[in-house]
Amino acid sequence: MSDFATLIQEGYFYQDRTDRIPQSEEAGWQLIFIRPRRFGKSLLLSVLEHYYDVNRTGQFEALFGHLAIGRNPTPLHNQYFVMKWDFSLVKAQGDVKDIEAALHQHLNDCIQEFAQTRANTPSACSTRIWPWIAANWSTSLICPTARTC
């Protein structure tokens, strides 16, 4: 299971390693998580998603209250807009154009979901989803979001 909220809410065993979150913050902004398959990379990213996402502020106590980071949170908890991309959902069959189109569609779907889940923020009002190429989202989504912070 790689969804942190489901794991906690349904009472599954979770080995608390959240005490390492402050260390990762001190390490810098660009981190690489290199681990073998089935070693918890997706779960770790889900923990970080739930910890940092401003949209999940109301869940913080229920998810983290009993964990080390819940007892001693950093100032950065629930302070960021988090957009989740799951590239395992991108169809990797066909020629390069097919794969590129599938990637752009996935990115556009993620951007659309991001904008919809933040409908009450000023950035959602000016978000435009470009149907032909996902790379154009930066000026329509990131800039207005940055101005709200």
- 119-146 residue pLDDT tens: 665 544 444 555 555 555 554 555 444 4
Compute the average pLDDT of residues 7-11. Answer: 96
- Express each pLDDT in 10-31 by its tens digit: 999 999 999 999 999 999 878 7
Structural contact between residues 48 and 97, judged by C-beta atoms closer than 8 angstroms: no
Token code pair at residue 42: 């997706």
The confidence score (pLDDT) of residue 66 equals: 97
Burial grade of 96 (CB within 10 A; 0-12, 13-18, 19 or more): exposed
> H helices within 4-149, ranges in order?
4-9, 21-27, 41-52, 60-64, 68-71, 96-117, 122-125, 137, 143-148
Token code pair at residue 144: 């207005």
Compute the average pLDDT of residues 32-53. Answer: 88
Compute the average pLDDT of residues 47-69. Answer: 95
Compute the average pLDDT of residues 23-43. Answer: 84
pLDDT of residue 75 exceeding 80, the answer is: yes
pLDDT of residue 6 exceeding 80, the answer is: yes
Compute the average pLDDT of residues 87-100. Answer: 91
144 or 60, which is more confident?
A: 60
The model carries a pTM of 0.75
